[in-house]
Amino acid sequence: MTNQVRSQVAAVLVSLACAGGWALAQTEVKGAQIDETKLEKRTSKVQCLGNQTVSLVGVSLRLQDVAIEAAGGCKVIIRNSHVSGAVAIQLVGPGDVTVENSIIEGTTNWIQMSGSATVSVKSSTIRGGTQRVGGAKLSDLGGNDWK
């Protein structure tokens, strides 16, 4: 297909969209999109120390206290999961937490982070406060629903 033909096709599509002949109803959905019935249920606190990497994929972790504790260079990856606790994630830096398409809930704080800890969150639902001490960094990568 030549550039001229591509331009003509694009012009026709724009004309149809503007005339109402083609519905362009793409709405951005914010927050996690997971099927909770398919999650693996866990009932024990997750601990990560030193240079370990811990991945929670497709997990439901619901505790009364701290659900995930990480310290000393640990890397935690949470994907397609639901984590809740009084504090869902406690991270003492250096350390790194990546949250993607997950629900993270804390009745006190969804996260407590200190030192040189870094956290990135994408396409997730976050409920609860944030406690940050020192040089801890939080990156919102978009598509999140902060409640």
Residues of the chain with pLDDT under 70: 1-28
Q: Residues near 76 by Cβ (< 8 Å), separated by ≥ 6?
A: 46, 48, 53, 54, 55, 56, 68, 70, 89, 91, 95, 96, 97, 98
Residue 109 pairs in a beta bridge with: 87, 129
What is the pTM for the complete model shown? 0.81
Residues 104, 135: Cα–Cα separation, whole Å: 22
Q: What is the pLDDT of residue 77?
A: 98
Residue 51 pairs in a beta bridge with: none
User: Half-sphere exposure of 105 toward its Cβ, with a 13 Å CA cutoff?
Assistant: 14
- Tens-place pLDDT, residues 104-126: 999 999 999 999 999 999 999 99
Q: What is the pLDDT of residue 9?
A: 46
Tell me phi and psi for residue 98, to 5 degrees.
Answer: -120, 125
Closest by CA position to 69, among listed 119, 17, 113, 133:
113
